[in-house]
């Protein structure tokens, strides 16, 4: 933890060269693991506690996006936590980025919501011999998600801001390796923020801040990853099943911050070659040909845009599905980052209900002017 603090303090003065308003923040947090599946009650023992260090900045309203979103805060952070059960769950070391939206402001008080996403390293994971009771996660490296609701109080004529927040933390490996029941935690924090710089900022209203003409967009996307959708008790197979998505989509760009569209999707998931026989704790191969496990569907969705980052959400239905007919629909949720205007990196979770199938990790192209 001392190393994190040293890096944070060394890096902070660098931001003083920026033309943005920068703030550093320290939070003390506490909470508890919330069991959400049968058999997980034993994982929650003592309260969890930790420390959170982050750097966030305010762009003001000098761009179209900041005007539309009411100048949200964006930033980066690191967090250490003792999860309340060190012998089984160990400790968490997370690195993340976030956006914080301002819902309500009156004088020195502000109500916000913060969306955090990143990676965490858990010092303990499921192991058949050494840690058999950790049935939540089978990998040390996991995805980290956190949703906070916060209340600010800006001290008059001072660079300090008091912060109180509460929310939920979720750890998951996206079905890369079983077990992947996930780990949820209710979390509360009390923090102090310090404004690092002062600038004479002018809000810029230019032609670039205007809404675009409505226009059409076509995209193509391809993803490739491995996943483990089955568990041979008490161990998962460790991944290795190839999963891929191909998609061609049409979007109507109704605003700089939003698109609605429809997508034709094709899915290849080698997990579907097998059927899990619970009586013998084994996988039985029941499909032999790729045509038997390929699925095709049509989805409708929305893309919420902030500069080069998009939040993707969609729901779809299969029109070709020869295996597991009860899975008649699917959903997609995640992020897309436009490296260039016409090239993006995709990271979304393809799921059915609350069960993740695999992470759609890949690239895509936008065929637009």
Which of 170, 195, 220 is the endpoint of a domain?
A: 195
Tokens of 132: 């058999």
Range of the domain at 217: 211-367
Report the CATH number that the domain containing residue 21 is assigned in CATH. 2.40.160.20
Q: List the beta bridge partners of residue 102.
A: 112
**268 and 173 both lie in a single domain:** no
Flag whether 39 is in a domain: yes
What burial letters (b/e) apply to 18-47, b meaning 16+ CB within 10 Å? Answer: eebbbbbbbbebbbbbbbeeeebeebbbee
**186 and 252 both lie in a single domain:** no
Q: Which of 287, 248, 247, 245 is nearest to 269 (CA)?
A: 245
**71 and 168 both lie in a single domain:** yes
**187 and 229 both lie in a single domain:** no
Flag whether 228 is in a domain: yes
Tokens of 308: 């080069």
**144 and 274 both lie in a single domain:** no
**186 and 224 both lie in a single domain:** no
**pLDDT number for residue 113:** 94
Which of 171, 195, 219 is the endpoint of a domain?
A: 195
**52 and 191 both lie in a single domain:** yes
Flag whether 204 is in a domain: no
**151 and 258 both lie in a single domain:** no
**pLDDT number for residue 65:** 86
**pLDDT number for residue 103:** 87
**27 and 154 both lie in a single domain:** yes
If one counts the domains in the chain, the total is: 2
Flag whether 258 is in a domain: yes
Q: Three-state SS for 103?
A: strand
Residue 206 φ/ψ, nearest 5 degrees: -130, 180
Flag whether 274 is in a domain: yes
Tokens of 122: 């858990």
Q: Three-state SS for 249?
A: strand
| Whether the predicted model's global pTM rises above the 0.85 cut | no
**177 and 31 both lie in a single domain:** yes
**pLDDT number for residue 201:** 57
**73 and 161 both lie in a single domain:** yes
**pLDDT number for residue 202:** 56
Flag whether 317 is in a domain: yes
Report the CATH number that the domain containing residue 261 is assigned in CATH. 2.40.160
Flag whether 28 is in a domain: yes
**174 and 137 both lie in a single domain:** yes
- CA 38 to chain CA centroid, nearest Å: 25
Which of 195, 229, 253 is the endpoint of a domain?
A: 195
Flag whether 354 is in a domain: yes
Q: Which residue stretches of the chain have pLDDT < 70?
A: 1-19, 200-213, 230-239, 278-281
């Amino acid at each position: 933890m001392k190393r994190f603090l040293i890096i944070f303090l060394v890096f902070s003065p660098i931001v003083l060269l920026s033309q943005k308003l920068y703030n550093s923040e320290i939070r003390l947090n506490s909470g508890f693991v919330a069991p959400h599946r049968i058999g997980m009650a034993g994982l929650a023992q003592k309260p969890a506690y930790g420390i959170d260090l982050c750097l966030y900045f305010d762009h003001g309203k000098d761009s179209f996006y900041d005007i539309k979103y009411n100048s949200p805060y964006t930033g980066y952070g690191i967090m250490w936590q003792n999860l309340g059960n060190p012998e089984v769950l160990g400790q968490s070391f997370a690195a993340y980025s976030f956006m914080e939206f301002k819902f309500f402001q009156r004088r020195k008080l502000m109500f916000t919501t913060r969306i955090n996403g990143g990676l965490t390293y858990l010092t303990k994971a499921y192991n058949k011999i050494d840690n058999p009771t950790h049935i939540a996660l089978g990998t040390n490296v996991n995805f980290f998600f956190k949703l906070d609701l916060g209340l600010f109080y800006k001290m008059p004529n001072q660079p300090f801001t008091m912060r109180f927040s509460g929310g939920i933390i979720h750890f998951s490996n996206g079905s890369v390796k079983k077990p992947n029941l996930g780990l949820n935690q209710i979390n509360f924090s009390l923090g102090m923020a310090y404004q690092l710089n002062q600038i004479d900022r002018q809000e810029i209203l230019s032609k670039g801040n205007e809404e675009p003409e409505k226009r059409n967009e076509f995209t193509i996307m391809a993803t490739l990853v491995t996943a483990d959708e089955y568990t041979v008790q008490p161990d998962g197979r460790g991944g290795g099943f190839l999963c891929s998505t191909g998609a061609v989509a049409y979007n109507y760009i109704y605003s700089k911050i939003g698109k609605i569209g429809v997508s034709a999707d094709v899915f290849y998931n080698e997990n579907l070659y097998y059927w899990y026989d619970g009586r013998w704790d084994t996988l039985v191969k029941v499909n032999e040909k790729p045509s038997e496990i390929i699925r095709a569907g049509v989805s409708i969705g929305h893309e919420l845009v902030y500069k080069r980052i998009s939040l993707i959400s969609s729901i779809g239905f299969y029109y070709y599905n020869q295996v597991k007919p009860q899975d008649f629909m699917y959903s997609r949720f995640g992020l897309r980052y436009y490296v260039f205007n016409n090239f993006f990196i995709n990271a979304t979770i393809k799921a059915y209900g609350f069960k993740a199938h695999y992470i759609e990790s890949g690239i895509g192209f936008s065929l637009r002017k």
